[in-house]
Amino acid sequence: MPGTVHLHRVLPVKPDKVFRAFTEAQALAAWLPPYGFTAGIEHFDAREGGRFRMVFTNFTTGGSHGFGGEFLEFVPGKRLRYTDRFDDPNLPGEIVVTVDFTPVLCGTALSIEQAGIPDAIPTEMCYLGWQDSLDKLARLVTPEISQ
């Protein structure tokens, strides 16, 4: 039965900046792959109905896996919902990721749900990967660099 993970973080920046990190290809490639992986963006059309395709490569082994999907909901600074499908036939099905960006006194409350994770991927591994990714996200969006 497909798995689901829920994540929550508070980041000390405005929702629009965090949203941009999810919807600008270079930013996403910088933070989404867990530590030890790189990301290549093959196609990225960030809008409702737009599609994307990317590849994660294991820096140690050189092995890679591709995936892509479609943006189902795109509300700047508020909500993003998209699908993921792996190229690997051993990882069937469609994952749906929903991200809510809620303004709070000290910045943005980020809530993520990843649903439909294939049975072959333990949810603990998803949590572990997301922990890396969200750490990298915080490091990307938190500095306020004026130039």
Mean pLDDT, the chain, whole residue set: 96
pLDDT of 41 above 80: yes
| Residues above pLDDT 70, as percent of the chain | 99
In a domain, 75, yes or no: yes
- Give a yes or no: residue 50 inside a domain: no
Count of structural domains, the chain = 1
Residue 46 lies in a domain: no
CATH of the domain at 131: 3.30.530.20
pLDDT band at 1 (very low <50, low <70, confident <90, very high): low
DSSP for residue 136: H
In a domain, 66, yes or no: no
Instruction: Indicate whether 47 belongs to any domain.
Output: no
- Residues 14 and 23: their CA atoms lie apart, in Å, by 15
- Please compute, for residue 60, the number of CA atoms within 13 A of its CA located in the half-sphere on the CB side: 3
Domain assignment present for residue 54? The answer is: no
- Structural domain boundaries, residue 30: 3-35+71-141
pTM for the structure as a whole: 0.94
